[in-house]
Chains A and B, each alone.
Chain A
Amino acid sequence: MLVIENLHTYYGAIHALKGISLTVNDGEVVCLIGANGAGKSTLVNTISGLIHARSGKVVFQDKEITNLDAYKIVKMGLRLSPEGREVFPDLTVEDNLRLGAYVSTDKKQIEDAYARCYQLFPKLKERRRQQAGTLSGGEQQMLAIGRALMSEPKLLLLDEPSLGLAPNIVNQIFELIIEIQKQGVTILLIEQNANMALQVSNRAYVLENGTVGMEGKAKDIAADNRVRQIYLGLK
């Protein structure tokens, strides 16, 4: 599904990604964990075309997408639900979702997407005429995810979906991730909440200072002593 080879990205003079290679296979949930500043968001922003890589390759479904414009990557079926949710606050929930389906041209397909989304997030249906800025943090996160699913992406990048949410909402979000995977969407998950992320993922990568420090099955990573100490806060 997604293959990244030796990716280097700079923020001005800062060398943020120093040769990252990773793979996401069809149907998997893969998580990226790592401390603040390890390069997690830089990586997903580079994959989705928001920032440009200096060198290296991003291949999505056997097509190279390195440094393509972000909107073209969306059209190909790779979507990012960004950190901080980034819903359009002054637009209604419905308009936000309509924008999620911006690349779809088929009316029927868009109707179906609304129906699927409202089934997954009944709260959004209740609030569909409300401005997105008036939703709670958890609802905005659901809107952000629902919006990204509107165009039926093959691969969904989720950047910090649990950030700033109450613990019971965090649980809901992780249940949703499993549900979305069941619907056939491959997921690359970025999380500070390493504990939860490792529970819902098949495989995991640990980013450290812009490089891949460790990779493997999620349960092996979760059992690793160093990971337990640094990222899971366990002894």
Chain B
Amino acid sequence: MLLQQIMNGVTIGMTYALIAVGYSLVFGILRLVNFSHGSVYAFGANSILFLISLNIGIIPAILIGILLTGILGVLIDKTALEPLRKKSAEGITSLITTIGVSSVITNLLIARLGSQKKAFPALFPTGEIIVGSIKFTYTQIGMLVISLALLICLLLIVERTKIGLAMRASEQNITAAKLMGINVNFVISFTFFLGGMSAAIAGTLVSSYYNMAYPNMGYTAGLKAFAAAVLGGIGSLPGSLLGGLVVGISESFAATVLGSEFRDSMAFIILICVLIIRPNGFLGKKSIKKV
């Protein structure tokens, strides 16, 4: 029973981690909490559901949807945020802009697709493997494997590639990064692209897990993933994973022990408790300060 709850929590926690990396990567470079990220996640799931309904095949629909969502991330930056950076606007201006963008995207989804919950097809065959007292459904195993593989890919991109080095440099000092010949705006676009793609993949996995998608799905998931990113230490990829798992497992327990009405508040209760003791999250740097 206990192990089963942990397993369920880990499964959903991995998807929070996938959304959290989007917050974390963008925050790392821009010191901006991108509140439109939850709506990007919803866009991913809903656009993929729409593409599936066009009968182009489920795999092509998913791939195109992931790509489109990555592009949406870039578009948000290019149309709404880059102009503000050019004018050296205050951080709060960009923050409000991302909240506005979030509403616009969610509303466009509702206008185009309707606000009702729609059935999302199962991506994995039904069935389960039973190990001791724990039941692993194929869906859970699929979610775990895909999420973990993706997180490892992201980590490799950031730690081992040239563009990843440029991302880490921009994170530490944007002016110095420019002086290295790095096109910082391209690096930022790339970061939004990665964040958008990860969110779309998370959206697909979650929608398939719960068998539904709807335009407002990004609201709670976005906030919880943001909590996960802060909990783990915003700006840190391993932190996002850890934060996502803690949020996932704790809400899984909250639902069983306290009742399902406590599920959604658990992430924030834990967040508040942890931040009092470790203000920078589990793996966060002591202080994020620009030189």
* Residue pair A48, B165 in contact (C-beta under 8 Å): no
18 A-B pairs whose Cβ atoms sit less than 8 Å apart in the complex: A70-B178, A71-B178, A71-B181, A74-B181, A79-B179, A82-B176, A87-B176, A90-B168, A91-B165, A91-B168, A95-B168, A99-B165, A99-B166, A99-B180, A102-B166, A102-B180, A148-B179, A151-B181
Q: Give per-residue flags for B135-173: 1 if the beta carbon is below 8 A from chain A beta carbons, else 0.
A: 000000000000000000000000000100110110011
| Identity of the chain B residue whose Cβ is nearest the Cβ of A80 in the assembled complex | B179
Further contacts, 18 of them, CB under 8 A, given A88-B173, A98-B165, A99-B180: A48-B179, A71-B181, A74-B181, A75-B181, A82-B175, A82-B176, A87-B176, A90-B168, A91-B165, A95-B168, A99-B165, A99-B166, A99-B182, A100-B180, A102-B162, A102-B180, A147-B180, A151-B181
Asked whether B260 is an interface residue with its Cβ less than 8 Å from the other chain, the reply is: no
A-side residues, CB < 8 A to B, are: 48-50, 69-71, 74-75, 79-80, 82, 84, 86-91, 95, 98-100, 102-103, 147-148, 151
Asked whether B183 is an interface residue with its Cβ less than 8 Å from the other chain, the reply is: yes
B contact residues around A89 at 8 Å (CB): 172, 291
Give bound CA distance, A98 to B185, whole Å: 20
Number of B residues near A (Cβ < 8 Å) is 18
Asked whether B95 is an interface residue with its Cβ less than 8 Å from the other chain, the reply is: no
* Residue pair B181, A91 in contact (C-beta under 8 Å): no
* Residue pair B169, A88 in contact (C-beta under 8 Å): yes
* Residue pair B181, A102 in contact (C-beta under 8 Å): yes
Option from B166, B168, B179, B291 in Cβ contact (under 8 Å) with A74: B179
Asked whether B184 is an interface residue with its Cβ less than 8 Å from the other chain, the reply is: yes
B-side residues, CB < 8 A to A, are: 162, 165-166, 168-169, 172-173, 175-184, 291
* Given A86-B291, A88-B176: A71 and B183 interface contact (C-beta under 8 Å): yes
A contact residues around B181 at 8 Å (CB): 71, 74-75, 102-103, 151
A contact residues around B182 at 8 Å (CB): 71, 99, 102
Give bound CA distance, A205 to B177, whole Å: 29
* Residue pair A50, B180 in contact (C-beta under 8 Å): no
- Distance (whole angstroms) from the CB of B151 to the closest CB of chain A: 21
* Given A95-B165, A99-B169: A86 and B184 interface contact (C-beta under 8 Å): no
A contact residues around B162 at 8 Å (CB): 102
A contact residues around B180 at 8 Å (CB): 71, 74, 99-100, 102-103, 147
A contact residues around B183 at 8 Å (CB): 69, 71
- Closest 3 interchain pairs by CB? A74-B181, A103-B181, A70-B178
- Distance (whole angstroms) from the CB of A131 to the closest CB of chain B: 11
